Amino acid sequence: MEVLRDTAKALFSNYQKSTSNRTKLIDLFIIFNLTLAAIQYFYMKIAGNFPYNAFLAGFFCTLGTATLTSCLRMTIETKKANTSEEKAFIEYMALCLLLYLVVLNYLG
């Protein structure tokens, strides 16, 4: 147990030190979206899932934005991919737009 706590602390301090502010912003956005998804899921459990398509649309919207942002983070930050930053960002915006269009259609 203590090993876990130590590891977690070490990881957290390492994260604080070594990641740039921009990356931390992106990570915060991802965690925000995931929290929204979790809130929607627990609300569905409490209040019932009557318009099921509405729940699915909202859930996948937050989950999708989180995923796309993490793809953006992978492309820009890890330097393993070979696209320029501007191109990656434009693609990210385009895909988010497409995602929101589809969600809009499915919300009903």
Partner 1 sequence: MESGVKGLLENWSPVFRIIILAMICILSVLIRVFSVIRFESIIHEFDPWFNFRTTKYLTERGVYAFWDWFDAESWFPLGRAVGGTIYPGIMLTAGLIHSSLHTLGFPIDIRNVCVFLAPGFAALTSLAGYFLTKEVTGRSEAGLYAALFVGIVPSYISRSVAGSYDNEGVAIFALVFTFYLYIKSVNTGSLLWSAAASLSFFYMVAAWGGYAFIINIIPIFVVGSVLIGKFTTNLYVSYCSFYILGSLLAMQIPFVGTQVVTSSEHLASHAVFVFLQIYVLGDWIKERAGEAKFKFLIRFLVTGAVSVVVIASLYMTLSGKMKWSGRSMSLLDPTYAKKFIPIIASVSEHQPTTWSSFFFDLHFLTVFAPVGLYFCLMEHNPGKLFIAGYGVLAVYFACVMVRLLLVLAPAVCILSAIGLSETLHRFTRHIKNYKEWASYISSKPSDKKTKPEYGYPLELALVVIGLIGFMSVYYINHCVWVAAEAYSSPTVIMASKGYDGERRIIDDYREAYYWLRMNTAQDARIMSWWDYGYQITGFSNRTVMVDNNTWNNTHIATMGMIFGSNEEVAAKNLRKIDANYVLVIFGGLSYYSGDDINKFLWMIRIAAGVFPQIKEEDYLNRGQYRIDSGMTETMKNSLMYRLCYYRFGEVQGYNRGSGYDVVRNAEIGEKNIKLRQFSEVFTSEHWIVRIYKVLPEENRDTIKPKSTYASRNKEMKEVGLTKVNLS
Residue type, 68: L
Query: Computed over its alpha carbons, how large is the radius of gyration of the chain?
Result: 17
Count of residues touching partner 1 (by CB under 8 A) = 39
The least distance separating partner 1 from the CB of residue 72, rounded to whole angstroms, comes to 8
Contact characters 81-100, partner 1, x per CB under 8 A:
xxx---xx--xx-xx--xx-
Contact characters 32-71, partner 1, x per CB under 8 A:
--------------------xx--xx--x--xx--xx-xx
CA distances from 79 to 18, 31, 76, 84, 99 (A): 15, 22, 6, 10, 26
For the chain, what's the residue count?
Answer: 108
Residue type, 34: L
CA distances from 76 to 20, 57, 71, 85 (A): 12, 28, 9, 6
Contact characters 16-35, partner 1, x per CB under 8 A:
--x-----------------
- Interacting residue ranges for partner 1, rule: CB under 8 A: 3-4, 6-7, 10-11, 14-15, 18, 52-53, 56-57, 60, 63-64, 67-68, 70-71, 74-75, 78, 80-83, 87-88, 91-92, 94-95, 98-99, 102-103, 105-106
